Amino acid sequence: MATGELNPNHYQAQRAAKVVQHYLNTRYGSPYRLLGLHRVHSGNAEDVEDSGRKYQLEISVQEIISNMTEKCSAEVLFPSGGQQRSPQVQASCEELLKINTIAQEEALYQQYKMKPSLLSAQNLPDSYGHIDPDMKPFWHLCIVASSFIMLNESSENTLFNVAQVANITQLATENDQLKFDCHVLLHEMVSQEIIHWKLLFTWSPPEGVKVQQMEQLPHCHHCEKPPNTN
Amino acid sequence: MLFSVGLSLVVLLSVVGAATVERVEYDYYKYHPMPEITDWMVQAVKDYPEVVTILEYGQTYEKRTISLLKIGINTGEKKKAIWMDCGIHAREWIAPAFCQYFVREILQAYKTDPKMQAMMTNMDFYVTPVLNIDGYIHSWKDNTTRLWRKNRSPGPLNCTCYGTDLNRNFNANWGTLGISFECCDNTFCGIKPVSEPEAQAVTYFVGNRKEDFLCFLTIHSYGQLLLLPFGHPNFTASNYDELMKVGRGAADAIRSVHGKDYTVGTSPDVLYANSGSSRDWARMQGIPLTYTFELRDDGTFGFELPQDQIQPTCEEAYSGALHIITYAHDKTFSGATATAATLWSMLLALGVTGTTLM
């Protein structure tokens, strides 16, 4: 295992930095704020006795909608031990919080809180990479909710991205929170597999995204009846 | 006197080229289903008959013909060659889009750019727009098939899944790292090396001409990477330094177009270890400059890159590919002999097509 100073372009630092991206989206993500890893400037890894492996990173993070970038420092601990435990992340990128999204979030919230018909959308993006502009905030929301899963599932041997939101359906508003059911397809780079998850989550401007339930779907989409062989 | 004759030849050839420009505009900035790509290949031959031919070099599992466009000036001699393939993985739609764009660019440059004319005189370009045709067609079927990766051969006995990962099936350290022996997995490397007809097609075609190839470029997405051989961390290419230098030059060329960063390095360093890739196989045949291009993006849209990014992605990738190809060409054909070769070949070409120009 690489220890000490890491090449920022190599996979060890890149995978750890992607975990920071997922963490930041769980903390700061919203329908109008979505973060992506822009660059890794430097990284360091060390073994921590009885704990796991700790990465220290200097990265740049970009807010996807405004294209604003910010440099952040972060620490990622991948726990050791038999149990599959989620990485622990410490990072702050407070400059990005200053991007003012309050008005847009409030407007979206009010619009969908009282809607007589509940939102339902499929295939975000579609096969051609297209997303209806009105649906983009919900694509962002599902990615933010998926970040909780991607954060939980990450290890030094994985790299997760959201491949597609297969379906997002609005459910009845609960305790002043908009509520959604989202079927998301995650792409895991190292295995090249597409993994299906179902999420139940809520959102409001003051509370942010809160995941209530998540469930991996045992999807055998590539399993088909073999042809009759003669 | 020779130079002014050369210039007149260029002008004459340009006029001929302009008269045969495509009548129906092909939209290079949209994704095209397989039948449209096939038609486009046929049209390219019609529009540039003096430099483009279609070669059929294999069959897919579902018995579709695998073809490439051979592009170059016919000098009547054995020529050095550049290989490019796209769409070995079905869901990476931006890759076939790039192959089509690449062909359009070199054909347009050939009309007006002396450097491209020299390269087309000295080398032939072999471009396969879609290698994994069955997989590509399957990915167009409906919303549930868009993210298909492998080919469409049935699994071994007792397997309920289809497909072998073609980029793990080549005879290059086959079945060792970064693969799965589970037939349902996306990195299933097949029951044995080169078990798949699509991998066989490339192996036989390139293998029979391996001394001719200067360059082997295989186009994928996503990740914004330029990957060098080898996929196994314990094996280093003998020309690693050269591969890194030229790769970095290509990445600089890419960045200068739209500011996008592409990382250069071996697979085990910058992505993951793997085995059985076409790039590794090509390098093992002795082809000196072999690269895997991983095009846009970096994960936001992933395989489903929006169509409005096709143009900038192709522009930057073309810049990168051209850097590598130009290096390969210039290393093999030194300046003075290149000019002489160009003029001589043009005279030859004029002699052959003289009657049609009159």
Over the stretch A2-20, which tens digit does the pLDDT of each residue have? Answer: 889 999 999 999 999 999 9
Rounded Cα distance between B138 and B129, Å, is: 16
pLDDT of residue A10: 98
Residues of A in contact with B267 (CB under 8 A): none
* Model pTM score: 0.91
pLDDT of residue B351: 58
User: pLDDT digits over A38-59, tens only?
Assistant: 999 999 999 999 899 999 999 9
Considering chain A, what percentage of its residues have pLDDT values greater than 70?
94
Q: Which helix (H) or strand (E) holds B251?
A: helix B240-258
User: Which SS3 state, helix, strand or coil, does residue B357 take?
Assistant: helix
A80-93: average pLDDT: 86
Residues of A in contact with B155 (CB under 8 A): 226
Q: Which residue of B has its CA nearest to A65?
A: B300
Partner-chain contact B302 A162, CB within 8 Å: yes
pLDDT of residue A160: 98
Q: How close A92 comes to chain B (CA, Å)?
A: 21
Partner-chain contact B304 A224, CB within 8 Å: no
In A66-87, which positions are buried (b, 16+ CB within 10 angstroms) versus exposed (e)?
Answer: eeebbebebebbbeeeeeeebb
In B6-43, which positions are buried (b, 16+ CB within 10 angstroms) versus exposed (e)?
Answer: beebbeebeeebeeeeeeeebebeebbebeebbebbee
Residues of A in contact with B135 (CB under 8 A): none
Residue A96 pLDDT exceeds 90: no
pLDDT of residue A223: 52
Residue B16 pLDDT exceeds 70: no
Residues of A in contact with B305 (CB under 8 A): 129
Work out the pLDDT band at B3, boundaries 50, 70, 90: very low
Q: Tell me the residue ranges of DSSP E strands in A94-207.
A: 120-124, 160-174, 177-188, 193-204
Residue B279 pLDDT exceeds 80: yes
Q: How close A189 comes to chain B (CA, Å)?
A: 9
- Residue B146 has its nearest CB partner, among A9, A127, A189, at A127
How are beta strands B80-86 and B213-221 bridged, if at all?
A: parallel
- Of A62-76, A78-92, A125-139, B233-247, least confident by mean pLDDT is A78-92
ipTM of the complex: 0.94
B39-61: average pLDDT: 98
Q: How close A194 comes to chain B (CA, Å)?
A: 8
Partner-chain contact A9 B263, CB within 8 Å: yes
B247-267: average pLDDT: 98
Residue B349 pLDDT exceeds 70: no
Residue B136 pLDDT exceeds 90: yes
Partner-chain contact A226 B309, CB within 8 Å: no
User: pLDDT digits over A184-220, tens only?
Assistant: 999 999 999 999 999 999 999 999 999 999 999 987 6
Q: For residue B110, what is the DSSP state?
A: H
Max alpha carbon distance in chain A (Å)? 66
Residues of B belonging to the active site: 294
pLDDT of residue B157: 86
Contact B126, B68 (CB under 8 A): yes
Work out the pLDDT band at B356, boundaries 50, 70, 90: very low
pLDDT of residue A184: 98
